Amino acid sequence: MTAITLRRHLTDAGHDSDLIFLLEDIASACRSTAYEVRNGPLKGNLGVADSINVQGEDQKPLDIIANDIFVSTCANSPRLAALVSEEIEEVVWLKEPKKGDYMLFFDPLDGSSNLDTNLSVGTIFSIMQIEEDGNRNVLRRGADQLVAGYALYGPATMMVLAAGRGVQGFTLHQGTGIFRLTQPSMSIPETTNEFAINTARRRFWDQPIRDYVDDCLAGTEGPRGKDFNMRWVASMVAEVHRVLMRGGVFLYPLDDKNRAAGGRLRLLYEVAPMAKIIEAAGGAASTGTERILDLVPTEPHQRVATILGSREEVALLEQMHRKPAEA
C-alpha cells in the first residue's frame, strides 16, 4: 500500500487551508534546499562565503542559498506576516499583522559545518500565530508554537512534523517530489543507554554535566549499572532525529565558554522547535533547571542551554543540577 502524502495527512488532520498552504511552501523550500545540498560540490558551493551572520559566525554559501530559498518560497503564503531567520539580524515583516496570521521561525541550514565532509545537515522551523491585530511581538514561549518541524538531508530527505497530535515522519520520493508518511506516530523510549555531547568542551563543563558523563562512561561498574554509547554529529537535526528513532539524550549545556552568551544553541528557531517535537514524541526538554517550552525569549537570537531526549535521562540531569542548590 502506498504511504499517504503530506497534503493528504494535513487535510485529514483538519488543519486550516492557509496553514496547509504554508506547510506545503515549507516542504517545497526543503526540496529545493535538498537539491542544492546534493549538488553543492558540483556547483562550487562548499567552503566559506565572504560574510558572517548576526551570530558572528562565518557563513557558508549554502547557508545563504538556503535562507534565500526559504524567504522567496514562503513569502508567497497570504497569511504569513513575519520571518525570523538565523541568517537575518532583524525580523522580516511581510505585511501588517492581523490576528491569526503566521510567523515563521527557521534555521535554514543547521549543521552546515558538516557540508565539506558530506555529513547530514538539515532545516529547523516553527510556526506561531499573531495574537491580535497589529501585534508585532515575536518573543513568544515555545509552548505557543502551532507547528514545529525539521527536514533532514541525509541518505533520504525527510520532514518530521509536530502539528497537532504526535510526531509524524515523511520521506521525499525523489522521482515525484512528494513527501509521503513513512514514520507515523514517532515516540521516544523513556529509558536509554545512549547520549550525545561534545566532549572536547569537557574542561568548560559545570560539575553536574561532568558527573553525569562520568557516571555513563563508568558503564556496568559505575552507579548507572549499564554501558552507554556516546555519539556526536555536530548537527542538531541529525542528533534529534537519532533520538526520535531509537531514544537517547542530546546535550549542549551551559558551560564556562558559552555562559556569557547564554548558551550555544538559539532558542526561537532551533531549541524551542526541537523541544516541541521531543515532548510531542513522549520525551522531555530542559535547560537543566527549566522546561524549555516555558522560556520567554528576550530577543530573537537568544541562546540557551539545551538538554533533550528520553524522559528518564532528562529528569536525572535536572536532579543533578538541583543538588548544589540543595547542599
Known binding-site residues equal: 86, 107, 109-113, 198, 270
What are the residues whose beta carbons fall under 8 Å from the beta carbon of 284, sequence distance 6 or more?
Answer: 278, 291, 308, 309, 310, 311, 314, 315
Find out whether 98 and 78 touch, Cβ atoms under 8 Å: no
What DSSP letter does each residue of 248-276 carry, written as one string? Answer: -EEEE--BTTTGGGT-SEEIIIIIHHHHH
Helix (H) or strand (E) holding 272: helix 272-280
| CA neighbor of 200 nearest in space, from 234, 250, 249, 242 | 234
Q: In whole angstroms, give the CA distance from residue 171 to residue 123.
A: 14
H helices of 39-185, where? 40-43, 61-74
- The residue assigned the cell 549554502 is 62
Binding site for Mg(2+), by residue number, is 86, 107, 109-110, 270
SS3 125: strand
Binding site for substrate, by residue number, is 110-113, 198
Find out whether 145 and 292 touch, Cβ atoms under 8 Å: no
Q: In whole angstroms, give the CA distance from residue 83 to residue 106.
A: 8
For residue 147, the cross-strand partners are 127, 163
Q: In whole angstroms, give the CA distance from residue 267 to residue 108.
A: 15
Phi, psi of 280 (to 5 degrees): -65, -25
Interhelix angle 272-280/236-246, rounded to 10 degrees, is 10
Q: Where are the beta strands (DSSP E) in 14-146?
A: 80-85, 92-93, 102-110, 121-129
